[in-house]
């Protein structure tokens, strides 16, 4: 048996800002939970009563159609939180939130947030700041999908994922990335081969390793930098 170190709440920047603004009461109101891939935090139309702040995990926010297909609209890591609609007073979720990368997520009940903020209509400047950033990110991602190539979008996805990780290696199947980006699996396989031949990544039994970040950055569109400026 060995103990796995739990990352502190401050590993999440939105939570760190909340602690700084509202004191230790925040720290006492959050609960760390270890999640695995592909745990679902909430489904579309679920009644969401708490916010999820990843400390080491990465959450994928997904929109779905009537045929059951799903497309990722945003990823959430240490920079923010899932449950924005609930935070804004709409408890029925418009999106599915699924754990894409395993790790620790801090949960904060909305009732706990109300206690911390001393109001029945909680509103926090640090959390509002993340909501604004998320809206900007969603707008740029919509532009990217309409205008840029799948190769550029895959490079943007990989770099965004890397920015939320501690290492340069993670598990990702072509199928799951194709599903999230809403493209065919063969398209992702073609793109992955391109990136491998450029020396940007290696791919081995579902494990992606970014071997040359600079090369990956040379394959990406300007949307990556625009989004990164919002997030960091």
| Minimum separation from the CB atom of position 75 to Zn ion (A) | 15
C-alpha closest to that of 99 among 59, 63, 70: 59
Among positions 18, 76, 144, 192, the unique one binding Zn ion when judged by CB under 5 A: 144
Give the total of residues touching Zn ion (CB under 5 A).
Answer: 4
Residues 163, 169, 173: CA angle, nearest 5 degrees: 100
Q: Does 179 bind Zn ion (CB under 5 A)?
A: no
Among positions 148, 185, 190, 228, the unique one binding Zn ion when judged by CB under 5 A: 148
| Minimum separation from the CB atom of position 181 to Zn ion (A) | 12
Between CA 74 and CA 224 the distance in angstroms is 13
The window from 3-11, 91-99, 124-132, 215-223 that contacts Zn ion (CB under 5 A) reads 215-223
Residue 224 burial (10 A CB sphere; 0-12, 13-18, 19+)? buried
What distances in angstroms separate CA 133 from CA 33, 148, 229, one per listed residue?
25, 21, 10
Cβ 164 vs Cβ 103: under 8 Å = no
The window from 45-53, 78-86, 148-156, 178-186 that contacts Zn ion (CB under 5 A) reads 148-156
Subset of 102-141 contacting Zn ion (CB under 5 A)? none
| Minimum separation from the CB atom of position 194 to Zn ion (A) | 16
| Minimum separation from the CB atom of position 144 to Zn ion (A) | 3
User: Which contiguous run of DSSP H or E holds residue 98?
Assistant: strand 96-101
What distances in angstroms separate CA 61 from CA 26, 27, 95, 204, one per listed residue?
25, 25, 6, 26
| Minimum separation from the CB atom of position 29 to Zn ion (A) | 38
| Minimum separation from the CB atom of position 186 to Zn ion (A) | 21
| Closer residue to Zn ion in complex, CB, 27/148 | 148
Among positions 14, 95, 223, 227, the unique one binding Zn ion when judged by CB under 5 A: 223
Find where tokens 């980006």 sit. 181
The window from 5-13, 36-44, 191-199, 218-226 that contacts Zn ion (CB under 5 A) reads 218-226
Among positions 84, 158, 201, 221, the unique one binding Zn ion when judged by CB under 5 A: 221
Between CA 219 and CA 212 the distance in angstroms is 11
Indicate the SS3 state at residue 85: helix
Residues forming contacts to Zn ion in the complex (CB under 5 A) are 144, 148, 221, 223
């Amino acid at each position: 048996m060995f103990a796995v170190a739990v990352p502190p709440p401050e590993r999440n920047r939105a939570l760190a800002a909340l602690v700084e603004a509202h004191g230790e009461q925040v720290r006492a109101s959050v609960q760390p939970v270890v999640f695995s891939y592909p745990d679902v935090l909430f489904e579309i139309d679920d009644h969401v009563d708490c916010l999820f702040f990843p400390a080491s995990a990465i959450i994928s926010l997904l929109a779905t159609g009537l045929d059951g297909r799903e497309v990722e609209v945003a990823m959430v890591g240490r920079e923010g939180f899932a449950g924005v609609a609930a935070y804004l007073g709409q408890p029925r979720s418009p999106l599915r939130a699924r754990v894409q990368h395993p790790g620790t997520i801090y949960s904060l009940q909305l009732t706990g947030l109300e206690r911390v903020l001393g109001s029945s209509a909680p509103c926090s400047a640090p959390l509002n700041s993340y909501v604004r950033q998320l809206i900007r990110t969603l707008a740029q991602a919509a532009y990217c999908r309409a205008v840029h190539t799948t190769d550029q979008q895959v490079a943007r996805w990989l770099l965004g994922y890397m920015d939320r990780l501690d290492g340069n290696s993670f598990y990702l199947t072509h199928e799951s990335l194709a599903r999230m980006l809403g493209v065919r699996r063969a398209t992702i396989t073609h793109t992955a081969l391109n990136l491998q031949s450029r020396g940007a990544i290696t791919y081995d039994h579902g494990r992606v390793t970014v071997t040359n970040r600079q090369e990956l950055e040379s394959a990406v569109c300007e949307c990556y930098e625009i989004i990164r400026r919002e997030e960091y």
